Amino acid sequence: MAHLGVAELADVAHAAYGRELRDVARLRGGSKKGVYRLTLDDGTTGVAYVWRASEDYWPEHEYDPLFGNASGRDLFLTAHTALSEAGMCVPRLVLVDRDVVVVEDLGGSFLEKQLDDPKPLERLWDDVEAMHQRLSPRYGRPSALQPTDAPPIPDVVLKRALGHLEDCSTRVPRIAAAREHLETLLRQRHSLIEPRTRYGLIHGELGPDHVLVADGRPVLIDIEGTMFFDVEWEHVFLQLRFGRHYRPVPGLDPARLALYRLAMHLSLVEGPLRLLDGDFPHRDAMLAIAEHNVERVLEELHAV
């Protein structure tokens, strides 16, 4: 896949900063969008997010309306507003264009390289707790909340997980061999969940690689998956990505955690393997994620 260069982004840089563009570097990540550092003729920099078909590594797929294809300028902007209103720190907007947003460049100081520093990590947990306490009576994207008669979140998660189980069974023989038991386990865990009518604001994919540290403050990036949802969904992901650095919180529903944990692991098998149907370049990393989560899926059979 060809990436953008100075010629393609010169007009964007001029519109954002009124200066000439000297250099462009595509930054890591960005399987659904291009992330580019713009270096101007005076040495200052900015970061451009570009949503174009040429930047999307994902093969064509029938997306579900809630989780599917969490990418695009409009989703980014509504998430930016919702997170800012919740007191979270996000990069400052410099330019909003048709399929490009330019934000301030906060450098490459990712939290994943500073997990042993308690200050930014504790600040993140405080921020996340405050974010999760921002509530809505309906779930969904901040700009497209689901109607009041929408299926309950556990039903949505179960349906999605069963679809992932079906797909994984066609790709991974070990999951195929345990498919019947895994389906039974998903349905059993779902049956134990009590109704809920209040939902917290979540990032949706909050790993330490999606948090920058600027002046000691955690700054959230890759925010397009932001939505009002069961906060247990986010906590399952936080536990997975932060490991021993995760800070538990009281009051989470253990039934939801159990269902969402298995559903999350199935998702992290299905998604990486489907991404590899295309020409995503970092193939070994995706295979490692899928393999790790195959093991975690099968471990769930012995966790009951």
Domain shared by 175 and 278, yes or no:
yes
HEC per residue, 160-177 = HHHHHHHHHHHHCHHHHH
Which of 104, 121, 147 marks a domain boundary? 104
- Per-residue pLDDT, 65: 65
Domain shared by 129 and 234, yes or no:
yes
CATH number at 282 reads 3.90.1200.10
Which of 104, 122, 143 marks a domain boundary? 104
Domain shared by 170 and 64, yes or no:
no
Domain shared by 86 and 127, yes or no:
no
Q: With respect to residue 1, please indicate whether it lies within any of the assigned structural domains.
A: no
- Show the tokens assigned to 222: 């890759």
Domain shared by 11 and 99, yes or no:
yes
Domain shared by 279 and 130, yes or no:
yes
CA atoms within 13 A on the CB side of 4: 28
Pairing of strands 199-202, 144-145: unpaired
- Per-residue pLDDT, 68: 67
CATH number at 49 reads 3.30.200.20
Task: Quote the CA–CA distance of 249 and 233 in Å, as a whole number.
Answer: 13
Q: With respect to residue 211, please indicate whether it lies within any of the assigned structural domains.
A: yes
Domain shared by 143 and 273, yes or no:
yes
Number of domains in the chain: 2
Domain shared by 132 and 47, yes or no:
no
Q: With respect to residue 24, please indicate whether it lies within any of the assigned structural domains.
A: yes
Domain shared by 134 and 45, yes or no:
no
List all residues 6 or more positions away from 67 whose beta carbon is below 8 Å from its beta carbon: 160
Q: With respect to residue 40, please indicate whether it lies within any of the assigned structural domains.
A: yes
Give ∠ CA 36-228-276 in degrees, rounded to 5: 45
* Cα Rg of the chain, angstroms: 20
Residue 153 belongs to domain spanning: 111-300
Written as tens digits, the pLDDT of the chain (304 aa) is 568 999 999 999 999 999 999 999 999 766 789 999 999 999 999 999 999 888 777 766 655 667 766 678 999 999 999 999 999 999 999 999 999 999 999 987 999 999 999 999 999 999 999 999 999 999 999 989 999 999 999 999 999 999 999 999 999 999 999 999 999 999 999 999 999 999 999 999 999 999 999 999 999 999 999 999 999 999 999 999 999 999 999 999 999 999 999 999 999 999 999 988 887 877 899 999 999 999 999 999 987 5
DSSP state of 205: S
Computed from CA positions of residues 136, 152, 178, 167, in that sequence, does the dihedral angle turn out positive or negative?
negative
Global confidence as pTM: 0.94
- Show the tokens assigned to 243: 């490991």
- Per-residue pLDDT, 199: 98
Q: With respect to residue 82, please indicate whether it lies within any of the assigned structural domains.
A: yes
Computed from CA positions of residues 53, 58, 61, 63, in that sequence, does the dihedral angle turn out positive or negative?
negative
DSSP state of 299: H
Domain shared by 49 and 19, yes or no:
yes
List all residues 6 or more positions away from 31 whose beta carbon is below 8 Å from its beta carbon: 56, 57, 58, 275, 280
Domain shared by 246 and 194, yes or no:
yes
Domain shared by 42 and 115, yes or no:
no
Which of 89, 104, 119 marks a domain boundary? 104
